[in-house]
C-alpha cells in the first residue's frame, strides 16, 4: 500500500504555473476554447493538451489515467466540454472549481462491492497547509485500501466522504511526508504537512537539461536548500563539505590531472561560470564562482561520465551544477524572504609548536657554549664583530655577545637572560592584544519573488561584511541577482537575468609575524609605558650600514610595528556582471528549441600603496640610493609607492539546443537533446608601479628607467635593479571553444533506461592534429529500476535501481598553446638577438582524456525510511598533460616539457545513506552519512627526477609510476647517533648522517591527499526545535612536519648563522648528552658554528620519515540549533515562517598529533554564528 | 506552421555549425608570448650558442689522451677512465649515462637547424634570397653536427662497406615526436654532401656573423668530408676553394711576443686571452666545445706533450707544466671562448698538404705544411721540413694537424681514417701504473656507444648500438 501511495504522483501543474498563463482579469473567466483531434493518444497527454490550450489546470492521478487512450474530435469546445468528451465512456468523474478541473477515478465495480459491506458514509472536510502556512493544492486525502479519496482544491480545501467506521485518512503530497491522520468523530480536519527530506529527489539538473532521476543513468549527488539550512551560507565549498560522498577539499573523486585545471567545472543556471583570474605575473588562478550563496536552490554534483560527459573537454574533474531560487508556489503572489547572520571567531594565536622564551634563551646559551669562537684569545673581537654586523640581533645573543666583547658584566648578562627567559610568549600575547582582533562576519540577504502569472520576477540581494583578524584586512560585497521569465505566448517564453557583484577587499600588507626583523617570543610590541615599541635601526642593521645612512642622510630604518599596520594596505575593488537571456520556443509538445546567450564581465582594480612612512618604502628608497660626488642620489624618489593592477575578464557563451521528449505507445519514452555551443573567454591584465605617488594630486615622480633596469650598486652596498616588467607589464589569455553535443535516453516502461551522449570540442588551446582535434567525448549508460519489476517481491524495498555507465570526460590546461614560443635575448658575442625555444610547437596538444566507469545502486527501504546510494568507479586518465623527458634525438635530451602522455588511475567507492530513525508528532530523528574511498595511482609518466633534491622538493613535478600523484618520498629514519645526530638509511641500507644523494635511497612515505573521507550527520527535531550535528573526517594521508625540531641556518656576510627565532617547541626534548639517543628522536641542537654541516643534517632530519605526520583527522564541523517560531505567531506578524538559528563551526578536531592539528588548521578555527531567517 | 518553425531552426543551427567550423576563430594566437613569425625571429636561433654551436668531443679527447683526466674524475666516471686508459674490461655501454653532451648537444643543434630549415621559407618580412641564405646557414651547421655524430658513434666511411654499415639517427624535422631512421654510413655522407651542395649557391663568402657559416665554411666542410671519404681529389678542390676565401693563419710568434710576460711567468695562475676566440683570424665559422662559456683551454697529459715538435711556440703559448697534489700535467694558460670545433683555415692547409702528398707532390705538400709551421714554430728554431716519402710527409702533416686541431673532432676522425686505411696506422701506448697499456688501430674503442638516455628514450625511432661495449 505504501508502494501504491508512492505511485500516486500527482501532476502538480500548479507549481509550474509561471510557465503557463492564467489570465486573471477582474473576474473574467478565460474564454479559451479547445480544438483537438485525438487518435489513440494517452489520456494524460490529452489532458495536458487541453490544459495547455485552455490555460486551465487539470488535476488527476497519473496512475489512474495510465492505460486509457482517447479517440476524439473536439473543436471550439469549452474546457468542460473537452474534458467531458475525453472522459466519456471511462470510469472517471470530474469537478470544476475556479479554473481547476479535478478528475477522479470512479472505480465503479469496487465501489459496488464495498458498498455492500459498508453502507454508511459521512463527510469530512478541512484545509491542508504546509509548514509555512501555504495551502497545498492537489494534496491527496484518501482512505487507504478504499476507493474513497479526493484532492484539495485551489484554496487547499477538501471534502471527502468516508466510511462511517473509518478512523484514519491518509494525506499525501509530493515532497511531503505521507501521514495517517486521526479522524475521530471530527468533521473538520485541518492538517499541516511537513516537508520530506528523505524522499529521492525526483529531478536532476545537468545544466543542459532537467532529467527525471529515475531515468538517469549517471552518478549524481543533489543537495537542496533545505539540506543546507543547518549550515552557514558561506562558500560553496563549505556547503558541500560532508554533503557529497567523494567530495573533499574542492575536488571530486580525487586528483585527476597533473598540470591542467584540478577544480570541477561550476555551472550556474545552465551556464558554465569560471572564476579564472590572473596573478600578479600573469599566471592563471581558479576561484570559486561568484554567487549569492543564500540564493542557492539546489546543487547537483555530476560525478561520472554519463552525468558529466556532456561538458566535453572540461568534464573530467566533475561538474557542480547550481540552480538559484526562482520559483514561488503560487501565482499572483509575492514572496519575500530575509535572513541575517552574524559570525564571530575569537582570535587566539596557537603557540604550542613554538619555542617559548625559556627554551629560546636556553638555546641561545647553548649556542654560545658550543661556539668555539667564543673561547680563546679572539673571543672578544669575534663577539664585537658579530655585534657590529648585527648578525645576531636578538636580545638574548646580543647580551651574551656584549659580555664576551667586554661591554657588560657577567651578572648583567645573566640578569638580562633571566628576565628574557621569564617572558613566555610575550610577543604573541601582545600581538593578539594590540595587532589582531576577533574576526566578525556579517551577512544579510533579501529575496523577493513575484509572480503575475505571465511574468515571474525575482531579485536577491546579499550584502556581506567581513572583518578579518588583521585590523586592516576585511572585505565587503554586495551581490544582486535578478531574474525574469516572461511567457509571451503559449509557445514562446523568455528568461533573462543578471548577477552583479560589487566587492572590496582590503588586505593589510604588513605582517606582524615578520615585522622586518626576526622576532623572538620575548620581544615586545608595546613598551612598559604603553607606547608602541620601536626596533631602532642600529639594533638590527650593521654599524657600517647605520653609519652610511647617517653619513648620506638616508631615510632612517627604524621599525615601529604597530605604526606600520595600515601603511601598506592593498585594496582590490571588483565589479562582476553576468547577464543572460534564454529564448524558449515550444515547437510541439515534444520538441523545444532554445537559444541562450550569456555575457560575463569582471573587472578588478588592485591598488597597493606603500605609504612613504612605511618601512617598505624607506627600505626601498635607501637601497636604490647611489653615490654621486659624495652625496646620495635617489634612483627611486622618496614618496608613496603605488602598485596598481587592472584586470578584465570577459566571457561569452552562446548556445542553441533542441530538446525532444516523447512517449510512444505509453511505454517507450525518448528524451534527447542536440545543440551547439560557443564559448570565448579573454582575460587581460595590466600592471604598473609608480613612485612618489601623491594620492591627492594623483601624480607620480619620474624615474630613470634605463638606469633602474640596468641596475647599479647602491650606497648600502646592494646591487639594485628593477625588471622592466616591475614598472609596467601587460598579459593576455584567450580561450575559445566551439562544441557540438547531443545526448539521448530511451526508457522502456519506466523500468529500463539506456543513455548515450556525444560531444565534439574544438579549441584554440590545442593543436591541429586531426588525431585529437576531432575526437569526441562520449558516454553510455544503462539503468534498471528493479523495484518496478512485476516479479520483484520485497515489500520492504521501496526503490531499487542499478545503473552502469562508461565514458570519457576531458580537461584542459588553459594556458597551454600548440604554438612554438621563443624567448629572445641579446647576443653580446656576435651582436644581434639570439633566440631559443621556450616551448616547443605541439600540434598534438589536446584535451586530457579521463575514462570513467561507474556502477551505482540507488535504494530506498523500510517505507523510504532508509535510502542511499552505493557507487564504484574507475577513472582512467590518459593523454594527461605530464612532464616528460625530452627525446635526446629530437634535441631535447636535457629538457622536460609537458605533453599529453601521462596516465593516472583513480579507483574508489562511495556510500551515502540517509535514514529516518524516529518520526512522531513531536519528534523526528534522522541521520545521514557519506563515505568516499579513493585510490590514486600514476600509471605512466616519462620523467624521472635527475637528482635527489628535485625528487624531494618537487615531488609532483617528478611523479613516480606505481604511486599516487601526490606521493612524497623521504629517507628512512634510523634514529639518533651516539652523539645526537640524525641518521637515516642510504640506498644500501647503511646508516648514515650524511644526506644520501642516490635516488634509490628515497623511500615512499605516503600521499598528501586523503584516501578516504566522509561525514556523519544527525538531525534531531523536537516540536519547533531542530538540532543538527555534522562530523567530517579524512584519512590515509600524510604530510611533512613544517616545523621540524631542528634549527635552520642562513647565510650572512660572516658565514652561516643559526636561526633561533623560528625554533620549534619540540627542541625542548632534544638530545643533550650521550645516552639520550635511547629516549629521544629529536637531534641535538645543531648550530651553524658548532662545526657540523648544519644544512646537510637539517636535510637528513627534515626529509626523514621521522618528520612525516599522519594527517588523519575527525572533526566536529558544525552544530546548529534552530527554533522555528510557531506558525500562529508568524501569522500575527504577517510572516509565513521564521527561524532563529545558532551555529558553532569547527569546535573540535581530533588528530594523531598536535602538530598535525595545527597544520590542518584545527586550532583557532571555531566560529560562533547567530542567524535570523524570515519568510513573508 | 510548425514545419516552418522547424525548418527555420534547422537553418539557424546549420548556420551556426558553419560559422563554428571557421578555423580562424580557433587559430587565435596567444599574446604576450613571442611566436616566431619573421625571418629575423628564425634567424635569431642561429645565434643561440648554447643550443646550436656546441660540439663536445670529450671522450675522443680522453681516448687520444689529448686531454688530461684528473684522478677524481677517473674514479667518478668509469667510462672516462676506460677511454683514457684503453681499459677493455669496462662496459662503456652500461656506464654511458653520465656523458651525454656530445649526443644531446649535437642533436639540439640539429633540431634548431631543422626548425629554421622548415620554417624560414615561409617566414614573413624577408625576400626569398634572404630566406634561402638563412636556410643555407642552417644546412651547413646541421652537416657539421652530423659529421661529428657519424665519426663518434659509428664506423668511419669505407667505400666498400658504407652502404651496409649503420651510422647514426638521421632526423630532419623539429616536430615533437618527429620520426627518424638510423641510416647507413653512405646515406649520412650522401645527406651531408647534398645539404652542402644545396646550400653553397645561396651563401655569401663569409656569413653575417662568425656564427653563420658562409661559403668558406661550407667548402671547408666539404673538404673535410671528402678527405674522410678518402676522396683526395675532391678534398683538395674544396680546400683550395676555402683557402681562396680565407687563408689567414694565427701567427703564434706574434702572439707570444704580445703575451710574453704571462707565457714566461713561473706560475700558471695568469692566463692570456686566446686568439682562438670569436675574432680568430683563421675561422670560417665559430663552434664551441662542450661549454659555450669561456674557460682555460683544456689540460694535457705529460706524455702527449712530447708529440709536439721541439720549438713549437703554439704549444708554449697554450700550456704550462703544473703540479697540484699528486698530479702533474700541462695546464691551459690561454682562456676565453675557444673555437674548438668551427671550420678554420689551418685545417684546410693541412688537408691540402695531405692531398698533395698522397698525389706524390711531396715538395708542394711540404711547402703548404711549412707555411703553417712558420706560424707555429718559434722563429729562432724554425727549419723547413722536407719529406722523402709519402709516408714521411703524412707523418709530419699528421703531427701538425693533431696538435693544431686538438680538442676538435678532426684528430679523432683522422685517426679512424688512417686505421681504416691500414697503412699509416699508429698504436697508442703509454705507461699506466707501471704497466704498458696500448690502444690498437683495430680496437672497438674507436667507436663510442650511444648514451643510454638516447637509447632508452628513443622517441619515434629506434637506435642500435654500433659498438658492443
Q: What is the pLDDT of residues A522-539, one digit of tens each?
A: 999 999 999 999 999 999
Q: Which residues pair with A628 in a beta bridge?
A: A631
How far apart CA A692 and CA A642 sit, in angstroms, is 8
- Residues of chain A positioned with their CB less than 8 A from the CB of B109: 891
- pLDDT at residue A794, rounded to an integer: 85
Among A182-191, A493-502, A762-771, the range scoring the smallest mean pLDDT is A762-771
Assign A1111 to helix, strand or coil.
Answer: coil
What would the mean pLDDT of B275-303 be, rounded to a whole number?
90
Strand A92-97 vs strand A100-105: parallel, antiparallel, or unpaired?
A: antiparallel
- Using alpha carbons, select from A860, A861, A767, A765 the residue that is nearest to residue A816: A765
Ordered alpha helix ranges (H), A55-105: 62-65, 79-87
Among A953-957, A1054-1058, B94-98, B141-145, the range scoring the smallest mean pLDDT is B94-98
CB atoms within 10 A of CB A705: 12
Band of residue B9 on the pLDDT scale cut at 50, 70, 90 = low
Strand A923-940 vs strand A896-919: parallel, antiparallel, or unpaired?
A: antiparallel
Assign A200 to helix, strand or coil.
Answer: coil
Print burial letters for A837-870: b (CB count within 10 Å at least 16), e (below 16): bebbbbbbbbbbbbbbbbbbebbbbebbbbbbbb
> Which residue of A595, A763, A890 is in closest CB contact with B171?
A890
Q: Does A835 touch chain B (CB under 8 A)?
A: yes
> Using alpha carbons only, what angle is made at residue B163 by residues B157 and B164, rounded to the nearest 5 degrees?
100
- As a dihedral over the C-alpha atoms of residue A630, residue A633, residue A638, residue A643, rounded to 10 degrees, the angle is -140
What would the mean pLDDT of B264-272 be, rounded to a whole number?
83
Band of residue A9 on the pLDDT scale cut at 50, 70, 90 = very low
Percent of chain A with pLDDT over 70: 93
- Residues of chain B positioned with their CB less than 8 A from the CB of A997: none
How far apart CA B280 and CA B277 sit, in angstroms, is 5
Across the interface, whether the CB atoms of A829 and B451 are under 8 A apart is answered: no
**A264-280: pLDDT as tens digits:** 999 998 888 888 888 88
* In contact, B241 and B281? CB cutoff 8 Å: no
Most distant CA atoms of chain A, gap in Å: 123
Q: Which residue in B has a C-alpha nearest to residue A767's C-alpha?
A: B27
- Residues of chain B positioned with their CB less than 8 A from the CB of A817: 29-30, 33
- As a dihedral over the C-alpha atoms of residue B321, residue B322, residue B327, residue B328, rounded to 10 degrees, the angle is 10
Across the interface, whether the CB atoms of B13 and A820 are under 8 A apart is answered: no
**Which range in A793-797, B111-115, B172-176 is most confidently predicted, on average pLDDT?**
B111-115
Q: Which residues pair with A658 in a beta bridge?
A: A593, A674
The length of chain A is: 1176
- Residues of chain A positioned with their CB less than 8 A from the CB of B211: 827, 830
**A95-141: pLDDT as tens digits:** 776 677 777 776 544 444 444 444 577 788 888 887 667 777 778 88
How far apart CA A1132 and CA A1024 sit, in angstroms, is 17
Print burial letters for A571-581: b (CB count within 10 Å at least 16), e (below 16): ebebebebebe
- pLDDT at residue A782, rounded to an integer: 94
At A210, give phi and psi (nearest 5°): -110, 125
Among A331-335, B125-129, B191-195, B399-403, the range scoring the smallest mean pLDDT is A331-335
H/E run at residue B269: none
Give how far Cα A1043 sits from Cα of A360, A954, A1060, A1063, Å: 15, 19, 13, 8
Q: Which of residues 702-761 of A touch B (CB under 8 A)?
A: 730-734, 736, 738, 740
How far apart CA A1099 and CA A997 sit, in angstroms, is 11
Q: Which stretches does DSSP call E strand in B44-188?
A: 166-170, 181-184
Q: Does B463 touch chain A (CB under 8 A)?
A: yes
Q: Which stretches does DSSP call E strand in A954-1089?
A: 967-970, 973-976, 982-985, 991-992, 1003-1007, 1012-1022, 1025-1035, 1038-1040, 1048-1052, 1055-1059
**A329 or B184, greater pLDDT:** B184
Band of residue A44 on the pLDDT scale cut at 50, 70, 90 = confident
> Which residue of A658, A821, A891 is in closest CB contact with B111?
A891
- pLDDT at residue A5, rounded to an integer: 35
Q: What is the DSSP letter of A352?
A: T
How far apart CA A219 and CA B137 sit, in angstroms, is 60
**A282-325: pLDDT as tens digits:** 888 888 888 888 889 889 999 988 888 888 888 888 899 998 88
Q: How far is B421 from chain A (nearest CA, A)?
A: 31
- Residues of chain B positioned with their CB less than 8 A from the CB of A891: 51, 104, 107-112, 174
How far apart CA A980 and CA A1092 sit, in angstroms, is 12
Across the interface, whether the CB atoms of A821 and B34 are under 8 A apart is answered: yes
ipTM for this prediction = 0.90
- pLDDT at residue A816, rounded to an integer: 73
Q: Which residue in A has a C-alpha nearest to residue B181's C-alpha?
A: A889
CB atoms within 10 A of CB A897: 18
- As a dihedral over the C-alpha atoms of residue A1008, residue A1013, residue A1019, residue A1025, rounded to 10 degrees, the angle is 10
How far apart CA A503 and CA A604 sit, in angstroms, is 9
A40 Rama class: left (phi>0) / alpha (psi -120 to 50) / beta:
left
**A927-944: pLDDT as tens digits:** 999 999 999 999 998 888
Mean of per-residue pLDDT scores for chain A: 86
Among A449-458, A469-478, A968-977, A1102-1111, the range scoring the smallest mean pLDDT is A449-458
Band of residue B15 on the pLDDT scale cut at 50, 70, 90 = low
Cα-atom radius of gyration of chain A, to the nearest Å?
Answer: 36
Q: Which residue in B has a C-alpha nearest to residue A585's C-alpha?
A: B5
* In contact, A721 and A712? CB cutoff 8 Å: yes
DSSP string covering A766-820: S---HHHHTPPEEEEEEEEEGGGSTT---TTEEEEEEEEEEEEEEE--TT--SS-
Q: Which residue in A has a C-alpha nearest to residue B277's C-alpha?
A: A829
- Residues of chain B positioned with their CB less than 8 A from the CB of A588: 2
Band of residue A1014 on the pLDDT scale cut at 50, 70, 90 = very high
Q: Which residues contact B234 (CB under 8 A, 6 or more apart)?
A: B222, B223, B226
**A599-624: pLDDT as tens digits:** 999 999 999 999 999 999 999 999 99
Among A74-83, A333-342, B415-424, B440-449, the range scoring the smallest mean pLDDT is A74-83
Across the interface, whether the CB atoms of B27 and A764 are under 8 A apart is answered: yes
Percent of chain A with pLDDT over 90: 46
Residue A770 has pLDDT above 70, yes or no: no
- Using alpha carbons, select from A904, A879, A873 the residue that is nearest to residue A304: A873
Band of residue A773 on the pLDDT scale cut at 50, 70, 90 = low
3-state secondary structure A525-590: CECCCCCECCECHHHCCCHHHHHHHHHHCCCCCCECHHHHCCCEEEEEEEEEEEEEEEEEEEEECC
Q: Which residues pair with A352 in a beta bridge?
A: none
**A350-402: pLDDT as tens digits:** 999 999 999 999 999 999 998 888 888 888 988 998 899 898 999 999 999 99
**B338-374: pLDDT as tens digits:** 999 999 999 999 999 999 999 999 999 999 999 999 9
How far apart CA A205 and CA A288 sit, in angstroms, is 20
> Which residue of A593, A822, A832 is in closest CB contact with B34?
A822
Residue A1038 has pLDDT above 90, yes or no: yes
> Which residue of A656, A733, A888 is in closest CB contact with B451?
A888
Band of residue A32 on the pLDDT scale cut at 50, 70, 90 = low
Q: Does A92 touch chain B (CB under 8 A)?
A: no
How far apart CA A914 and CA A503 sit, in angstroms, is 39
CB atoms within 10 A of CB A408: 17
What would the mean pLDDT of A461-465 be, rounded to a whole number?
95
What would the mean pLDDT of A230-242 be, rounded to a whole number?
85
Residue B264 has pLDDT above 50, yes or no: yes
Mean of per-residue pLDDT scores for chain B: 91
Amino acid at each position: 500500500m505504501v508502494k501504491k501511495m508512492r505511485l500516486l504522483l500527482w501532476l502538480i501543474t500548479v507549481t509550474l504555473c509561471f510557465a503557463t498563463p492564467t489570465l486573471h482579469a477582474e473576474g473574467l473567466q478565460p474564454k479559451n476554447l479547445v480544438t483537438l483531434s485525438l487518435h489513440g493518444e494517452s489520456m494524460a497527454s490529452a489532458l495536458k493538451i487541453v490544459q495547455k490550450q485552455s490555460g486551465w489546470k487539470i488535476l488527476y492521478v497519473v496512475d489512474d489515467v495510465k492505460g486509457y487512450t482517447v479517440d476524439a474530435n473536439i473543436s471550439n469546445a469549452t474546457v468542460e466540454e473537452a474534458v467531458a468528451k475525453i472522459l466519456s465512456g471511462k470510469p472517471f468523474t470530474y469537478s470544476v472549481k475556479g479554473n481547476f478541473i479535478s478528475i477522479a477515478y470512479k472505480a465503479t465495480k469496487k465501489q459496488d462491492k464495498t458498498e455492500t459491506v459498508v453502507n454508511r458514509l459521512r463527510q469530512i472536510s478541512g484545509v491542508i497547509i504546509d509548514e509555512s502556512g501555504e495551502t497545498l493544492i492537489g494534496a491527496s486525502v484518501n482512505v487507504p485500501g478504499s476507493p474513497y479519496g479526493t484532492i484539495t482544491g485551489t484554496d487547499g480545501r477538501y471534502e471527502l466522504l468516508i466510511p462511517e467506521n473509518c478512523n484514519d485518512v491518509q494525506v499525501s503530497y509530493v515532497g511531503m511526508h505521507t501521514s495517517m491522520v486521526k479522524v475521530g468523530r471530527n468533521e473538520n480536519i485541518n492538517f499541516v504537512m511537513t516537508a520530506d527530506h528523505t524522499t529521492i529527489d525526483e529531478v536532476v539538473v545537468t545544466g543542459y537539461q532537467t532529467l527525471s532521476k529515475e531515468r538517469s543513468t549517471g552518478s549524481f549527488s543533489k543537495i537542496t536548500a533545505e539540506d543546507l539550512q543547518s549550515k552557514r551560507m558561506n562558500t560553496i565549498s563549505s556547503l558541500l563539505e560532508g554533503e557529497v560522498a567523494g567530495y573533499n577539499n574542492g575536488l571530486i573523486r580525487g586528483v585527476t590531472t597533473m598540470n591542467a585545471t584540478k577544480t570541477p567545472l561550476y555551472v550556474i543556471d545552465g551556464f558554465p561560470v569560471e572564476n579564472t583570474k590572473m596573478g600578479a605575473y600573469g599566471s592563471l588562478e581558479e576561484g570559486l564562482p561568484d554567487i549569492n550563496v543564500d540564493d542557492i536552490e539546489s546543487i547537483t554534483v555530476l560525478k561520472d561520465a554519463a552525468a558529466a560527459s556532456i561538458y566535453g573537454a572540461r568534464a573530467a574533474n566533475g561538474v557542480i551544477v547550481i540552480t538559484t531560487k526562482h520559483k514561488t508556489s503560487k501565482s499572483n503572489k509575492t514572496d519575500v524572504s530575509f535572513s541575517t547572520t552574524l559570525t564571530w571567531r575569537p582570535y587566539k594565536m596557537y603557540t604550542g609548536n613554538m619555542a617559548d622564551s625559556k627554551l629560546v634563551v636556553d638555546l641561545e646559551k647553548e649556542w654560545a657554549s658550543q661556539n668555539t669562537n667564543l673561547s680563546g684569545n679572539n673571543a672578544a673581537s669575534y663577539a664585537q664583530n658579530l655585534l657590529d654586523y648585527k648578525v645576531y640581533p636578538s636580545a638574548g645573543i646580543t647580551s651574551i655577545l656584549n659580555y664576551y666583547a667586554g661591554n657588560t658584566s657577567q651578572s648583567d648578562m645573566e640578569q638580562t637572560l633571566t628576565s628574557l627567559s621569564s617572558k613566555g610568549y610575550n610577543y604573541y600575547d601582545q600581538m593578539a592584544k594590540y595587532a589582531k582582533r576577533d574576526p566578525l562576519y556579517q551577512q544579510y540577504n533579501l529575496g523577493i519573488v513575484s509572480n503575475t502569472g505571465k511574468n515571474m520576477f525575482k531579485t536577491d540581494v546579499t550584502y556581506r561584511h567581513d572583518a578579518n583578524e588583521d585590523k586592516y584586512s576585511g572585505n565587503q560585497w554586495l551581490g544582486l541577482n535578478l531574474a525574469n521569465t516572461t511567457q509571451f505566448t503559449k509557445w514562446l517564453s523568455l528568461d533573462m537575468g543578471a548577477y552583479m557583484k560589487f566587492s572590496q577587499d582590503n588586505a593589510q600588507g604588513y605582517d606582524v609575524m615578520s615585522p622586518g626583523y626576526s622576532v623572538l617570543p620575548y620581544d615586545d610590541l608595546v613598551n612598559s609605558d604603553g607606547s608602541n615599541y620601536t626596533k631602532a635601526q642600529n639594533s638590527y642593521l650593521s654599524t657600517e650600514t647605520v653609519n652610511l645612512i647617517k653619513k648620506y642622510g638616508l631615510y632612517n630604518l627604524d621599525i615601529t610595528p604597530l605604526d606600520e599596520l595600515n601603511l601598506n594596505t592593498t585594496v582590490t575593488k571588483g565589479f562582476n556582471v553576468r547577464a543572460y537571456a534564454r529564448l524558449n520556443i515550444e515547437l510541439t509538445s515534444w520538441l523545444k528549441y532554445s537559444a541562450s546567450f550569456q555575457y560575463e564581465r569582471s573587472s578588478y582594480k588592485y591598488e597597493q600603496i606603500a605609504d612613504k612612512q612605511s618601512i617598505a618604502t624607506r627600505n626601498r628608497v635607501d637601497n636604490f640610493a647611489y653615490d654621486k660626488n659624495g652625496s646620495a642620489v635617489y634612483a627611486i624618489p622618496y614618496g608613496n609607492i603605488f602598485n596598481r593592477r587592472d584586470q578584465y575578464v570577459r566571457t561569452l557563451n552562446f548556445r542553441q539546443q533542441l530538446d525532444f521528449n516523447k512517449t510512444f505507445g505509453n511505454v517507450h519514452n525518448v528524451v534527447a537533446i542536440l545543440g551547439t555551443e560557443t564559448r570565448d573567454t579573454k582575460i587581460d591584465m595590466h600592471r604598473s608601479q609608480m613612485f612618489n605617488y601623491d594620492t591627492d594630486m594623483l601624480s607620480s615622480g619620474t624615474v630613470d628607467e634605463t638606469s633602474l633596469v640596468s641596475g647599479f650598486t647602491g650606497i648600502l652596498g646592494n646591487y639594485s635593479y628593477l625588471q622592466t616588467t616591475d614598472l609596467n607589464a601587460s598579459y593576455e589569455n584567450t580561450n575559445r571553444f566551439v562544441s557540438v553535443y547531443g545526448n539521448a535516453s530511451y526508457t522502456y516502461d519506466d523500468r529500463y533506461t539506456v543513455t548515450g551522449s556525444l560531444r565534439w570540442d574544438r579549441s584554440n588551446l590545442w593543436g591541429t592534429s586531426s588525431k585529437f582535434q576531432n575526437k569526441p567525448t562520449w558516454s553510455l549508460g544503462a539503468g534498471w529500476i528493479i523495484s518496478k519489476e512485476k516479479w520483484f517481491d520485497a515489500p520492504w524495498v521501496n526503490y531499487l535501481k542499478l545503473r552502469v555507465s562508461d565514458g570519457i570526460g576531458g580537461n584542459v590546461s588553459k594556458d597551454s598553446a600548440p604554438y612554438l614560443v621563443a624567448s629572445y635575448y641579446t647576443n653580446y658575442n656576435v651582436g644581434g638577438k639570439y633566440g631559443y625555444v621556450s616551448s616547443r610547437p605541439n600540434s598534438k596538444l589536446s584535451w586530457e582524456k579521463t575514462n570513467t566507469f561507474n556502477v551505482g545502486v540507488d535504494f530506498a527501504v523500510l517505507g523510504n525510511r532508509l535510502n542511499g546510494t552505493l557507487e564504484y568507479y574507475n577513472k582512467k586518465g590518459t593523454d594527461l598533460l605530464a612532464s616528460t623527458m625530452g627525446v635526446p634525438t629530437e634535441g631535447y635530451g636535457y629538457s622536460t616539457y609537458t605533453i599529453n602522455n601521462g596516465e593516472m588511475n583513480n579507483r574508489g567507492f562511495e556510500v551515502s545513506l540517509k535514514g529516518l530513525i524516529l518520526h512522531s508528532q513531536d519528534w523526528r530523528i534522522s541521520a545521514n552519512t557519506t563515505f568516499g574511498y579513493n585510490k590514486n595511482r600514476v600509471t605512466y609518466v616519462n620523467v624521472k627526477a635527475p637528482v635527489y633534491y628535485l625528487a624531494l622538493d618537487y615531488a609532483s613535478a617528478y611523479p613516480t609510476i606505481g604511486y599516487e600523484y601526490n606521493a612524497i618520498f623521504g629517507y628512512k629514519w634510523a634514529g639518533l647517533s651516539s652523539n645526537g645526530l640524525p641518521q637515516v638509511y642510504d640506498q644500501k641500507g647503511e646508516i648514515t648522517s650524511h644526506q644520501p644523494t642516490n635516488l634509490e635511497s628515497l623511500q615512499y612515505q605516503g600521499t598528501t591527499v586523503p584516501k578516504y573521507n566522509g561525514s556523519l550527520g544527525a538531525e534531531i527535531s523536537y516540536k519547533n526545535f531542530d538540532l543538527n550535528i555534522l562530523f567530517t573526517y579524512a584519512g590515509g594521508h600524510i604530510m611533512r612536519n613544517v616545523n621540524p625540531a631542528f634549527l635552520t641556518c642562513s647565510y650572512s656576510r660572516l658565514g652561516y648563522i643559526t636561526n633561533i627565532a623560528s625554533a620549534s617547541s619540540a627542541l625542548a626534548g632534544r638530545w643533550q648528552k650521550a645516552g639520550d639517543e635511547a629516549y629521544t628522536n629529536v637531534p641535538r641542537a645543531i648550530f651553524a658554528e658548532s662545526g657540523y654541516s648544519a644544512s646537510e643534517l637539517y636535510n637528513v632530519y627534515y626529509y626523514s620519515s621521522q618528520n612525516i605526520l599522519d594527517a588523519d583527522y575527525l572533526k566536529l564541523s558544525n552544530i546548529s540549533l534552530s527554533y522555528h517560531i510557531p506558525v500562529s505567531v508568524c501569522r500575527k506578524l504577517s510572516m509565513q515562517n521564521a527561524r532563529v538559528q545558532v551555529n558553532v563551526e569547527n569546535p573540535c578536531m581530533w588528530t594523531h598529533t598536535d602538530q598535525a592539528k595545527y597544520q590542518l588548521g584545527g586550532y583557532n578555527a571555531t566560529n560562533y554564528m547567530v542567524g535570523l531567517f524570515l519568510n513573508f | 506552421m510548425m514545419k516552418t518553425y522547424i525548418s527555420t531552426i534547422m537553418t539557424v543551427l546549420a548556420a551556426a555549425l558553419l560559422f563554428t567550423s571557421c578555423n580562424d576563430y580557433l587559430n587565435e594566437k596567444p599574446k604576450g608570448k613571442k611566436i616566431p613569425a619573421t625571418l629575423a625571429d628564425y634567424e635569431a636561433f642561429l645565434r643561440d650558442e648554447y643550443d646550436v654551436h656546441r660540439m663536445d668531443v670529450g671522450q675522443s679527447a680522453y681516448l687520444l689522451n689529448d686531454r688530461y683526466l684528473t684522478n677524481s674524475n677517473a674514479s667518478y666516471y668509469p667510462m672516462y677512465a676506460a677511454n683514457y686508459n684503453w681499459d677493455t674490461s669496462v662496459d662503456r655501454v652500461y656506464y654511458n649515462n653520465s656523458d651525454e653532451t656530445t649526443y644531446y648537444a649535437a642533436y639540439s643543434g640539429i633540431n634548431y637547424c631543422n626548425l629554421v630549415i622548415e620554417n624560414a621559407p615561409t617566414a614573413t618580412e624577408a625576400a626569398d634570397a634572404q630566406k634561402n641564405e638563412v636556410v643555407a646557414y642552417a644546412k651547413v651547421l646541421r652537416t657539421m653536427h652530423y659529421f661529428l655524430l657519424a665519426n663518434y658513434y659509428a664506423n668511419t666511411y669505407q667505400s666498400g662497406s658504407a652502404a651496409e654499415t649503420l651510422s647514426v639517427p638521421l632526423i630532419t624535422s623539429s616536430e615533437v615526436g618527429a620520426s627518424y631512421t638510423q641510416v647507413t654510413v653512405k646515406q649520412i655522407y650522401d645527406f651531408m654532401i647534398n645539404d652542402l651542395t644545396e646550400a653553397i649557391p645561396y651563401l655569401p663568402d663569409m656569413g653575417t656573423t662568425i656564427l653563420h657559416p658562409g661559403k668558406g665554411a661550407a667548402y671547408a666542410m666539404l673538404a673535410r668530408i671528402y678527405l674522410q671519404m678518402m676522396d683526395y681529389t675532391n678534398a683538395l678542390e674544396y680546400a683550395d676553394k676555402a683557402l681562396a676565401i680565407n687563408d689567414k693563419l694565427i701567427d703564434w710568434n706574434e702572439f707570444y711576443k704580445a703575451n710574453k710576460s704571462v707565457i714566461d711567468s713561473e706560475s700558471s695562475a695568469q692566463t692570456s686571452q686566446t686568439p682562438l676566440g670569436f675574432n680568430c683570424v683563421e675561422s670560417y665559422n665559430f663552434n664551441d666545445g662542450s661549454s659555450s662559456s669561456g674557460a682555460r683551454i683544456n689540460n694535457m697529459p705529460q706524455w702527449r706533450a712530447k708529440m709536439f715538435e721541439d720549438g713549437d711556440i703554439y704549444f708554449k703559448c697554450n700550456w704550462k707544466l703544473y703540479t697540484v697534489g699528486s698530479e702533474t700535467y700541462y695546464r691551459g694558460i690561454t682562456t676565453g671562448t675557444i673555437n674548438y670545433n668551427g671550420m678554420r683555415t689551418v685545417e684546410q692547409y693541412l688537408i691540402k698538404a695531405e692531398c698533395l702528398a698522397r698525389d706524390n707532390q711531396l715538395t708542394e705538400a711540404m711547402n703548404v705544411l711549412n707555411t703553417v709551421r712558420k706560424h707555429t714554430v718559434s722563429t729562432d728554431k724554425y727549419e723547413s721540413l722536407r719529406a722523402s716519402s709519402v709516408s714521411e710527409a703524412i707523418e709530419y702533416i699528421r703531427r701538425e694537424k693533431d696538435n693544431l686541431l686538438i680538442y676538435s673532432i678532426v684528430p679523432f676522425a683522422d685517426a679512424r681514417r688512417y686505421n681504416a686505411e691500414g697503412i699509416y696506422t699508429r698504436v697508442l701506448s703509454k705507461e699506466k701504473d707501471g704497466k704498458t697499456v696500448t690502444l690498437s688501430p683495430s680496437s672497438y674503442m674507436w667507436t663510442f656507444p650511444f648514451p643510454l638516455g638516447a637509447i632508452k628514450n628513443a622517441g619515434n625511432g629506434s637506435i642500435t648500438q654500433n659498438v658492443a661495449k
